[in-house]
């Protein structure tokens, strides 16, 4: 690819992001006609129209939107490569944007990220901790953490970091008030606490008769955070179904006790998802490696 082609691509991206050739010209320190000629050359080489043009507006065509996604990634990779070479060691720098599930993000990801930022002072981070599934490409994330089999397809790469084992727990005080459940069917006789994830009651998975079954016990109390659910269980409010990393310390200190361990379902994968790139940015690669090592 010639340097002229790169310049035409940069002019196209600037025009698409700024919404006009005039604004793009200011950004690129070019003339309006220079931007227009760059875009015209690009359209000529591609054989497609990238913009719908009127005297008052500039809007991407369908081909233009598809091409913009690719061009934005190309320019981002070039910037990362330039920064790495300028630094001489591939030091992570710039902005790292990532999204992760709320509880896993707070309990596991944020402590690792804090150490990562402390190690690389030229790096900044923007983090979205939510149980809603953000679109990695459309929302501009470098990296997403997903629990369970990833639903995204296409140009995303998935790397399994670890696996999540879920357990049913209750406080010693609660278990002293009634017999502990010996089978998942016994949950109907107990106060169950439900985890509301993105507005949905999370299912409790069990291995029953050689298969994995998901049930949703009738909840006496529903909460939208794993840590809040753990605190409710410690207070004696009932049985909670939570990832082991949320309650391990409480079980070790007898604030909570596990039940129904014989019916524990197989663990689910926790994956890092990122856009497919020939050369993965140093900031993304190093952070994924650190999380994997920590887990």
> Please, are residues 275 and 137 in contact by the beta-carbon 8 Å criterion?
yes
Class at the top of the CATH hierarchy for domain 166-266: alpha beta
94-161+269-294 domain in CATH 3.40.50.2000? no
- The architecture in CATH of the region 3-85 reads Orthogonal Bundle (1.10)
> Please, are residues 287 and 114 in contact by the beta-carbon 8 Å criterion?
no
Which residues are within 8 A (CB) of 138 and not within 5 positions of it... i.e. 6 or more apart? Answer: none
Q: Whose structure tokens read 């998975």?
A: 205
pLDDT score of 86: 53
CA distance 164 to 245: 8
Angle, vertex CA 36, rays to CA 33 and CA 40, nearest 5: 135
Q: At what angle do helices 3-18 and 21-28 cross, to 10 degrees?
A: 130
Residue 209: which region, alpha, beta or left (left: phi > 0; alpha: psi -120 to 50)?
left
Question: Within 10 A of 253 (CB to CB), how many other CB atoms are there?
Answer: 8
Predicted TM-score (pTM) above 0.75: no
| Assigned token pair, 248 | 């391990």
Question: Within 10 A of 57 (CB to CB), how many other CB atoms are there?
Answer: 10
CA distance 268 to 294: 18
Measuring CA to CA, which residue among 112, 27, 41 is closest to residue 290? 112
3-class SS at 121?
coil
The structural domains of the chain, with segments of one domain joined by +, span: 3-85, 94-161+269-294, 166-266
> Please, are residues 100 and 145 in contact by the beta-carbon 8 Å criterion?
yes
pLDDT score of 89: 53
pLDDT score of 88: 47
For residue 128, list its beta bridge partners.
Answer: 99
CA distance 105 to 108: 6
Q: Whose structure tokens read 């950004």?
A: 27
CATH topology match: 94-161+269-294 vs 166-266:
yes
> Please, are residues 15 and 1 in contact by the beta-carbon 8 Å criterion?
no
Averaged over successive runs of 10 residues, the pLDDT of the chain (295 residues) comes to 73 89 87 92 92 84 87 72 57 89 92 95 92 80 88 74 94 95 95 86 91 91 93 96 95 96 93 75 89 88
> Please, are residues 257 and 175 in contact by the beta-carbon 8 Å criterion?
yes
């Amino acid at each position: 690819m010639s340097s002229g082609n790169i310049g035409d691509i940069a002019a196209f991206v600037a025009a698409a992001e700024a919404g006009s050739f005039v604004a793009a010209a200011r950004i690129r320190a070019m003339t309006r006609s220079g931007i227009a000629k760059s875009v015209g050359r690009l359209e000529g080489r591609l054989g497609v129209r990238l913009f719908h043009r009127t005297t008052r507006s500039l809007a991407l065509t369908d081909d233009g939107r598809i091409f913009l996604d690719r061009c934005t990634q190309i320019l981002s990779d070039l910037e990362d490569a330039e920064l790495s070479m300028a630094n001489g060691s591939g030091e992570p720098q710039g902005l790292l944007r990532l999204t992760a599930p709320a509880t896993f993000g707070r309990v596991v990801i944020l402590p690792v990220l804090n150490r990562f930022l402390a190690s690389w002072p030229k790096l900044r981070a923007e983090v979205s901790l939510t149980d809603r599934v953000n679109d990695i490409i459309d929302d501009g994330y470098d990296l997403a953490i997903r629990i369970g089999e990833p639903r995204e397809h296409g140009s995303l790469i998935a790397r399994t970091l670890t696996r999540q084992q879920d357990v049913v727990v209750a406080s010693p005080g609660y278990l002293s008030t009634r017999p502990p459940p010996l089978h998942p069917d016994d949950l109907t006789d107990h106060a169950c606490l439900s985890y509301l994830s993105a507005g949905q009651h999370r299912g409790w998975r069990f291995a029953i008769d050689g298969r994995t079954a998901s049930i949703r016990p009738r909840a006496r109390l529903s909460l939208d955070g794993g840590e809040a659910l753990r605190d409710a269980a410690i207070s004696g409010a009932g049985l909670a179904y939570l990832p082991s990393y949320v309650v391990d310390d409480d079980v070790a200190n007898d604030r909570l006790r596990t039940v129904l361990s014989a019916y524990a379902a197989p663990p689910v994968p926790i994956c890092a998802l990122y856009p497919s790139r020939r050369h993965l940015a140093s900031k993304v690669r190093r952070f994924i490696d650190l999380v994997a090592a920590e887990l």
